[in-house]
Every structure is written in C-alpha cells, then in structure tokens.
Amino acid sequence: MLSDSAALSGAVYECVDTARPDDFPYMYFEFMPADRSLLPALSLQTLTGDPVLTRFMDGSYIGQFRFAVYLRMSADDDESRLAASALMEQVTSVVAGGTYTLPTGFDYHRITQDTLPRLISVDEGFYDYQVTFAVDYGKKKG
C-alpha cells in the first residue's frame, strides 16, 4: 500500500495539472509559494486515511487515494475573495470531472468529492482555500 500512494501521487498530480484552468499559471505538489508574483497558485497534497475500502479473499482490493487541492490567492478585498470562491468552484468542477490515467496495475474506478471548497486559513494576506477528493481504484493481486 505504501507504493500505491507514491505511484498514484504523481499520476493524479499530472491529471490535475493537465486539467487545471488557465487562470492558474502555477501548480505545485505539497508546496505553497510565499511569493505574491506566483499567485494565484494551485497545490496538490496527499491525505491520510484508510487506503483499502474493500479487501477480497484473493488478496486483491479496492483502494482509495485521498488528496486535497489548495488554492492560494492574495485577496485584499471582498471582490477578490468572491472571485476566489468562484475560481475554487471552477477548480472543483474540473478536478471532479477530470480524466485520470493511473499507472499499470491500477484500475481507475471513480473520483468523488469529499468536502466542499472552503477557506481554511488567512495568513499575512494569503487566502488559502481547500477542497478534497478521493480516487477509488482496483488493484489485483499479481
């Protein structure tokens, strides 16, 4: 299961990176830039959770890869914060409707949205928004 997360992180990152709206010139993996010239930025982070949803008698299983997509904006007024919410809705729609190609050995099942987009932190003028997803996949015992 450890190798599942490592293998899926890169694949899901690439899929989200491919699908991201043009409003975001930058995308990162588990990193949020502190340089305002690089905003708005998207970032993908893997999340913890039970990696196996269903275990079968032959050793195969249905696994789940959970991840969060963050949006960091420098939003100084209500108008820009409302714009951030609209952008987050757009990001959510794109990620939830994306096409996910997983590495060999993984069967893609579906993607579900776990939480609603929300503002999770405000720090030194940086507004960070988060929405979380889960990719269900099948892995056969080799």
Partner 1 sequence: MIPIYSEQLQYWLDISDAADESGYENTAGVLTWTPSATLSEYKPAFLERAISPTFKRTSGYTIDSQFAAMSDEPTHEYFIAHEDMTNVVTNVVRVDMFDPVTGGYRARRAAFYMTVAPLTQNANEPFKIPPTFNMTDDGWTHGVFNVDTRTFTPDSEEETVTEEEAVTENAGE
In the complex with partner 1, the residue whose CB is nearer, 7 or 62, is 62
Does the bond joining 117 to the residue before it have cis omega, within 30 degrees of 0? no
- Closest distance of CB 52 from partner 1, Å: 13
Site pattern 16..55 for partner 1 (x: CB under 8 A): -------------------------------------xx-
- Closest distance of CB 35 from partner 1, Å: 41
Which helix (H) or strand (E) covers residue 17, if one does?
helix 2-19
Cα–Cα dist 75/71, whole Å: 11
In the complex with partner 1, the residue whose CB is nearer, 81 or 109, is 109
- Closest distance of CB 57 from partner 1, Å: 4
Q: What angle do CA 73, 9, 65 make, to 5 degrees?
A: 100
Cα–Cα dist 131/68, whole Å: 6
- Closest distance of CB 141 from partner 1, Å: 6
In the complex with partner 1, the residue whose CB is nearer, 35 or 141, is 141
Residue 134 CA to its chain's centroid (Å): 8
Task: Find residue 63's DSSP bridge partners.
Answer: 52, 137
Interface with partner 1 by CB under 8 A: which residues? 53-54, 56-60, 62, 138, 140-141
